[in-house]
Each structure stands twice: as C-alpha cells, then as structure tokens.
Amino acid sequence: MTIDLHAEPSSVRFTNITKRYKTGRGSVTAVEGFNLSIEPGELVSFLGPSGCGKTTTLRMVAGFEEITDGELTIAGRRVNDIEPHRRPISMVFQSYALFPHLNVRENVAFGLKLRHESKDKIQELVDSAMESMNISQYAKRAPHELSGGQQQRVALARAIVTEPRVLLFDEPLSNLDAKLRVRMRTEIRRIQSELGITSIFVTHDQEEAMSISDRIVVMRDGRIEQVGNPQEIYQEPANAFVADFIGSSNLLEVDASAVELGAGDNEVLVPVLGTRMPIRTTGMPWDPSHSWKVLIRPESVRVRHEDEESAGAHDVEARVRGYQYFGDHVRVECEVDGLVLESRMYGHGHHFDAGDACRVSIVAEDSRLIRD
C-alpha cells in the first residue's frame, strides 16, 4: 500500500473570513474580510510580516481558532464548526511537535493509531511514508537522536501518512540553518507535487514563498494586499508595501504635478534622476489624486566607473557609498542627487570602492509606477 492523495484533491474556500479577539477594552481584529479560493492540488503561501494574520488564518483552517464571521469550506463542505480532529487536514508545525517518548516509527504511526486503523494498514502506510521521506533507517531512533532536518522529515511523514485532503505548514523551516532550509523546501515541494495534495504554507521568508508556491497571498494587518504567482507578485506589485516586502527595491517619491501621460497604455512620463522616463503603472491606471512611487529593482540599476563607455539613456553621475561582494553578484550603493540607489550586478569584473565617482543607468522598461 502506498500513500495516495490523488483520488480526492480538495479545494479550500475562504468567504469573508474574519477573526476578532475579545479584550478588556473591546475587541481586536486579527483577520478581516479574507476572501480566497485555493484550487485542488495547489500550493499557496501566506506571506507577510509578524502580526499580519497569516498564522491565525492557517489556524482557522486547522480548527484551532474559531471563525468570528464568514464561511470556510474544504472540498465544498462547510467546516466552521467541525472539530480539528474531524477535519481532513494535517499540519506540520514550526517546532516539529514530535513526541519525545516515542521513536520515529511510533511518531509517524501516531495519527493512524488514533483512527484505530488495522495493524496491517498502519504498517504499510507508515512504511510508505517513511520511505518517501527517506527516514526508514531512523525507525527506532528517538527524536533527540535526530538532526533538525531529520526531525522535520519525520514531522512531514507523520502529516502525510493519514492521507489528508489539505496539508498545512506553519513556518516549518524557520528552525533550520540556511542551506538545510533550501534543501528542505525543495523536498517539500517535490513531495507536495508528487502527492498532488492541496497545501497552505505560512512563512515570513519571501525567498521561501517565491521558490515553492503556485500562488502567494501577501498580507498586512489582517488583510490581503495581493494574490498572484511569484512572477506577478515580483514584477507587478500592487503597491509599495508589496514591492518593498518582496525582494529588494528602490522606491522613489513622485511629484504628481510633473508627471505626463505617455504614448502606451498605462504609461506615464516620470521625472527620475534628472531625466523623464516612460514608466508603466501597475495595479491601476494613473490618477494624480493618489500618492505614487517609482519602483526600480536593484538588478535594473547599472553602475559603471566614470571613465567607462556610456551604458545608454538615463545615465547620470553618482558616487559609490558601499560595496559588497557575494561571489556570483555584487551589491553597490550609489548616491545620486541626494538619493541612494541599490544596484545588484551579476558576473565578475565589477569592483568599486566607497567614495568612487561612477555613473548610474536605469533600465526604464523594468521600472514600475505603483501606489504608495
């Protein structure tokens, strides 16, 4: 017998979900007006800073938090009032939550024993789950005898062995070192894709979310700021908060009175670094009554020594404020007319010292005009 979740892929629907906590002075709203449809087999990440409501939303799916208002459905069934152990979900916790008095095999089998499955079925499903996570050789070890990565694999095996319809991840990689996090997120994505299980992944790490997600839900103060695939979130952020939270960014103030309409759709001419650049708007058409910023990603900023040949249009004099070498790329901070721009350039041959005179050019077609 093998773990098989393809037979019943499940959707998850959030309809006007709200969570309020009562306090001595009234109530505090943790999540408000949360609307989202997650398709069967999709991996969706909830991403945002601490306190944005992402974990609270996940815990409402698990049944660990009551829903104040709205409706939550899994596979079309309303689950608002269904107890956690009766929901078709499993959860992988940040702390792994392994039982210290049980060995690896007993930890993985725990959920199946609670369901009173037969000994033969438990053995076959546990064997399959442990083999899929490459932990069979640790079957008789205690959790404290395992590394962090091995413990995480045990926790994942325990989650999938019960054949849930939805798999929940609550910042599962935050306790691992950097290299192991990269390896484990690749493993999680592989397992999720092979099993075809609907998954919700909570993280505050934008690189994690970008690398494993079909879609990302960016949250702030209990509300959704933007939903999209990683490329959409990065290249077409809905506003300055999303742009600044996803990746590095240069955000420049815009004088609306100096902006002119351009030739293309959603294109305007914006004064940037002493020249007028054609820049596309994202999220909504240009409206001078709103506050806007120019988004310039560091990889769209080119820095060269002042005696090098011009890189083309939008080329201005600057001075190097800082230089960092990362092997495959360098980061250079330049001061231009009182503004500081960050540049990220890949390849070899880029070296600058603080105080060097330089010239900076911007790739206008990669820049965006976004709501503040």
- Give tens-digit pLDDT for 274-290: 778 888 888 778 888 88
Question: What pLDDT shows up at residue 265?
Answer: 67
Q: Which fold has domain 12-235?
A: Rossmann fold (3.40.50)
Contact partners, residue 57, CB within 8 Å, separation at least 6 = 14, 17, 19, 31, 34, 46, 219
pTM above 0.85, yes or no: yes
For residue 142, pLDDT over 70 is answered with yes
Residue 6 banded pLDDT, cuts 50, 70, 90: very low
Question: What pLDDT shows up at residue 306?
Answer: 81
Q: What are phi and psi of 199, to 5 degrees?
A: -135, 145
Cα 119 to chain centroid distance, Å, stands at: 40
CA dist 11 and 198 (Å) reads 7
Q: Which of 157-161, 316-320, 344-348 has the lowest mean pLDDT?
A: 344-348
Q: Where in the chain is the domain with CATH 3.40.50.300?
A: 12-235
Helices (H) and strands (E) in the chain, counts: 8, 21
Exposed/middle/buried for residue 168 (C-beta within 10 Å: 0-12, 13-18, 19+):
buried
pLDDT digits (tens, 9 = 90+) for 148-201: 888 888 998 999 888 899 999 999 888 788 888 888 888 889 888 888 899 999
CA dist 112 and 130 (Å) reads 14
For residue 116, pLDDT over 80 is answered with yes
Contact partners, residue 22, CB within 8 Å, separation at least 6 = none
Tell me the CA distances in angstroms from 215 to 144, 196, 218, 308, 333, one per residue in order: 35, 15, 10, 42, 32
Half-sphere exposure of 116 (CA within 13 A, CB side): 0
Question: What pLDDT shows up at residue 7?
Answer: 47
Q: Which CATH class name applies to 298-364?
A: mainly beta
Report the 10 Å Cβ neighbour count for 18: 16
